[in-house]
Amino acid sequence: MATYYPHISGAVSAGMPYVRRMAFSTVVSESPAGQIFTAPRLTDPLWLFDLDYKMIPTADADEILEFFQDQRGRYGEFSFLDPAGTLIEVGDDFSDASWTKTGVTVGSAQTDPLGGSEAVRLTGTGGDNSVRTPILPAGDALTVSRGQALTFTGSIWIKPVIASQSFMVAFYRTGVGVESSKIIALADGRWQRIWFTWQSNTDDPLEVQFGGGGTWASNAVDVFAPVCSPLPGKGGDEYGPSNYGLHAKSRFAVDRLRMESPQPGLWNVKCAVESYA
- Amino acid type, 1: M
pLDDT above 70 as % of the chain: 80
Average pLDDT over residues 254-261: 91
Identify the domain containing residue 229 by its residue range.
100-243
Higher pLDDT, 67 or 31: 67
Residue 57 preceded by cis peptide, ω within 30: no
CATH number (domain holding residue 137)? 2.60.120.260
Nearest in space to 152 (alpha carbons), one of 232, 250, 33: 232
Same domain, 134 and 175: yes
Same domain, 18 and 120: no
Domain membership flag for residue 92? no
- Amino acid type, 48: L
Domain membership flag for residue 87? no
**69: three-class secondary structure by DSSP:** helix
Same domain, 108 and 202: yes
Q: What span, in angstroms and rounded, lies between the C-alpha atoms of 235 and 255? A: 31
pLDDT, tens only, 22-58: 666 666 666 666 655 555 555 566 788 888 888 888 9
Query: What's the number of domains the chain is made of?
Result: 2
Report in angstroms the alpha-carbon separations of 21 from 242, 251, 270, 272, 275.
14, 15, 16, 11, 11
pLDDT, tens only, 205-219: 899 999 998 888 788
Same domain, 117 and 22: no
Q: How many CA atoms lie within 13 A of 248 on its CB side?
A: 10
The single-letter DSSP state of residue 86 is B
Average pLDDT over residues 238-250: 78
Q: What span, in angstroms and rounded, lies between the C-alpha atoms of 59 and 10? A: 9
With residue 64 as reference, give the H or E element that holds it.
Answer: helix 58-70
pLDDT, tens only, 150-199: 888 999 999 998 877 889 999 998 878 999 999 999 988 899 999 999 88
Nearest in space to 102 (alpha carbons), one of 78, 72, 124: 124
For the chain, the average pLDDT equals 83
Please give the pLDDT value at position 138: 73
Same domain, 264 and 166: no
Asked if residue 176 lies in contact with residue 119, where contact means CB atoms within 8 angstroms, the answer is no
Please give the pLDDT value at position 52: 85
**Whole-structure pTM over 0.95, yes or no?**
no
